[in-house]
Amino acid sequence: MANSKQSAKRARQAEVRRQHNVALRSRMRTAIKAVLKAVQEGNAEAASAAYKDAVPRIDTMVNKGLVHKNKAARTKSRLNARVRGIAG
Protein backbone atom coordinates (compact mmCIF):
# COMPACT_ATOMS: atom_id res chain seq x y z
CA MET A 1 0.00 0.00 0.00
CA ALA A 2 1.28 3.46 -0.90
CA ASN A 3 2.36 5.56 2.08
CA SER A 4 2.47 8.97 0.40
CA LYS A 5 0.74 10.85 -2.39
CA GLN A 6 3.87 10.51 -4.47
CA SER A 7 4.06 6.74 -4.10
CA ALA A 8 0.32 6.42 -4.74
CA LYS A 9 0.69 8.32 -7.99
CA ARG A 10 3.70 6.21 -8.98
CA ALA A 11 1.67 3.05 -8.35
CA ARG A 12 -1.16 4.37 -10.55
CA GLN A 13 1.27 5.28 -13.33
CA ALA A 14 3.00 1.92 -13.13
CA GLU A 15 -0.32 0.09 -13.50
CA VAL A 16 -1.32 2.18 -16.53
CA ARG A 17 2.06 1.53 -18.15
CA ARG A 18 1.85 -2.18 -17.35
CA GLN A 19 -1.57 -2.46 -19.00
CA HIS A 20 -0.27 -0.59 -22.07
CA ASN A 21 2.79 -2.83 -22.32
CA VAL A 22 0.63 -5.96 -22.01
CA ALA A 23 -1.51 -4.76 -24.92
CA LEU A 24 1.52 -3.99 -27.09
CA ARG A 25 3.16 -7.33 -26.29
CA SER A 26 -0.09 -9.12 -27.09
CA ARG A 27 -0.31 -7.36 -30.46
CA MET A 28 3.21 -8.51 -31.29
CA ARG A 29 2.50 -12.11 -30.27
CA THR A 30 -0.69 -12.12 -32.35
CA ALA A 31 1.28 -10.98 -35.40
CA ILE A 32 3.81 -13.78 -34.84
CA LYS A 33 1.02 -16.34 -34.49
CA ALA A 34 -0.51 -15.13 -37.77
CA VAL A 35 2.77 -15.95 -39.55
CA LEU A 36 2.97 -19.38 -37.91
CA LYS A 37 -0.64 -20.16 -38.81
CA ALA A 38 -0.10 -19.23 -42.46
CA VAL A 39 3.03 -21.40 -42.54
CA GLN A 40 1.11 -24.28 -40.95
CA GLU A 41 -1.53 -24.02 -43.66
CA GLY A 42 1.17 -23.97 -46.34
CA ASN A 43 0.01 -20.64 -47.74
CA ALA A 44 3.27 -19.01 -48.88
CA GLU A 45 1.66 -15.77 -50.02
CA ALA A 46 -0.24 -15.23 -46.77
CA ALA A 47 2.81 -16.22 -44.72
CA SER A 48 4.96 -13.69 -46.55
CA ALA A 49 2.38 -10.95 -46.07
CA ALA A 50 1.98 -11.80 -42.38
CA TYR A 51 5.76 -11.79 -41.94
CA LYS A 52 6.02 -8.33 -43.52
CA ASP A 53 3.35 -7.17 -41.07
CA ALA A 54 5.01 -8.81 -38.05
CA VAL A 55 8.56 -7.47 -38.54
CA PRO A 56 7.75 -3.78 -37.91
CA ARG A 57 5.69 -4.73 -34.85
CA ILE A 58 8.58 -6.71 -33.42
CA ASP A 59 11.01 -3.87 -34.13
CA THR A 60 8.68 -1.38 -32.47
CA MET A 61 8.65 -3.47 -29.30
CA VAL A 62 12.46 -3.40 -29.27
CA ASN A 63 12.46 0.39 -29.55
CA LYS A 64 9.96 0.62 -26.69
CA GLY A 65 12.12 -1.65 -24.54
CA LEU A 66 9.55 -4.43 -24.24
CA VAL A 67 11.65 -7.05 -26.02
CA HIS A 68 15.43 -7.45 -26.11
CA LYS A 69 16.98 -6.80 -29.52
CA ASN A 70 18.56 -10.27 -29.64
CA LYS A 71 15.23 -11.96 -28.93
CA ALA A 72 13.63 -9.89 -31.68
CA ALA A 73 16.38 -10.79 -34.14
CA ARG A 74 16.10 -14.48 -33.23
CA THR A 75 12.32 -14.43 -33.62
CA LYS A 76 12.47 -12.67 -36.99
CA SER A 77 15.15 -15.05 -38.21
CA ARG A 78 13.16 -18.14 -37.24
CA LEU A 79 9.96 -16.78 -38.77
CA ASN A 80 11.77 -15.88 -41.98
CA ALA A 81 13.30 -19.36 -42.19
CA ARG A 82 9.84 -20.92 -41.91
CA VAL A 83 8.36 -18.57 -44.53
CA ARG A 84 11.22 -19.32 -46.95
CA GLY A 85 10.88 -23.01 -46.18
CA ILE A 86 7.37 -23.23 -47.60
CA ALA A 87 8.04 -20.81 -50.46
CA GLY A 88 11.02 -22.76 -51.80
- Thinking of the domain 5-87, which architecture would CATH place it in? Up-down Bundle (1.20)
In this prediction the pTM is 0.88
For 6-23, what is the mean pLDDT?
96
On average, the pLDDT of the chain sits at 95
Confidence at 88, pLDDT banded by 50, 70, 90? low
pLDDT in tens, 37-76: 999 999 999 999 999 999 999 999 999 999 999 999 999 9
Q: Which contacts of 8-12 are long-range, i.e. CB under 8 A and separated by 24 or more positions?
A: none
